[in-house]
Amino acid sequence: MIIHLPTGKKFHNRKEAKIYFGTAYYYRMEREKKDLMFTNNIQSATNEYEDTIKAPAKQDK
C-alpha cells in the first residue's frame, strides 16, 4: 500500500497512484523519496525497497 503523506490518501498499488498523480509526477515523488510512504508489502521496479539481500550461490566445480 502507498500512502501520500500530505493528503493521507491511500493507494493499493503503484498503478492507482500513477493514475491519480500522473506518471511523471509520481515517479518524481518516488525518486525524491518524499511525500510517499510504502508499507512493507511493496517492491519497487528497481528492487530499491527490498529488505533481503540475495547473494549468488557458490557453484562447485
Which pLDDT value is given to residue 44?
Answer: 54
Domain ranges of the chain: 1-36
pLDDT band at 60 (very low <50, low <70, confident <90, very high): low
pLDDT band at 1 (very low <50, low <70, confident <90, very high): confident
Which pLDDT value is given to residue 51?
Answer: 47
Nearest to 2 by CA among 32, 51, 52, 44: 44
What is the rounded distance in angstroms from the CA atom of residue 8 to the CA atom of residue 25? Answer: 17
Q: Give the tens place of pLDDT for each residue, 8-37.
A: 899 988 899 999 999 999 999 989 888 888
Q: Give the tens place of pLDDT for each residue, 29-56.
A: 989 888 888 876 545 555 555 444 444 5
What is the rounded distance in angstroms from the CA atom of residue 13 to the CA atom of residue 3? Answer: 10
